Amino acid sequence: MLEYIKFAYNMNLAEGFGINTNIFETNIINLSAVVAVVVSFVGKNLTALLEDRKKTILNNLQEANQRAKEAQEKLNTAKAQLELAKKKATSIREEGKKLAELSVTSCMQQHQERLQLLEEFKQDTLQFYQQKAFKQAYIYVISRIMSRVKERLNTGLDATYHVVVNNFYVSRFTSYNP
């Protein structure tokens, strides 16, 4: 078809039959014919496609903005929850420290009380064994004294001396206070 247009154009100008050898003019004519056909047939469809694409892009931008707002709200909520969690963690940490200090203090106090009870038990035990040792020593001394007294009394003392010695020892025993 383009060739026919070229041919008819050349006929009018040259007043005769011929081939146009100017490639530039031929390309311009061909290009304008192709553009005219494309615009007439494809123009409406291309315009509709571009409008649909424009609507799709606008919808995508609106959805993206909406998602960005939702994400920002979620971020703000998460930050608020993080701050709340930090406050709770700080509170729990402080309570833990107080509880640990209280526990340590309680353990130390119990330990001191137990040490005091052990010390008292030790003193009571020492006192008991001292009294027991003194009693055994007292009994031993008294038995030795009594055996010596009996020995002396049995070895030939007269009755007067017996009475004097007995009175002396009885007076000593009555004055002794263990």
With DSSP H G I counted as helix, E B as strand and the rest as coil, what are the percentages for the chain, rounded to 5?
90, 0, 10
Predicted structure pTM score = 0.39
Instruction: State the Cα–Cα distance between residues 68 and 56, nearest whole angstrom.
Output: 18
The packing angle between helices 23-154 and 2-14, to 10°, is 140
Q: Dump pLDDT digits (tens) for 126-161.
A: 999 999 999 999 999 988 888 887 877 677 666 777
Instruction: State the Cα–Cα distance between residues 55 and 37, nearest whole angstrom.
Output: 27
Looking at residue 14, its pLDDT comes to 47
The one-letter code for the residue type at 112 is: Q
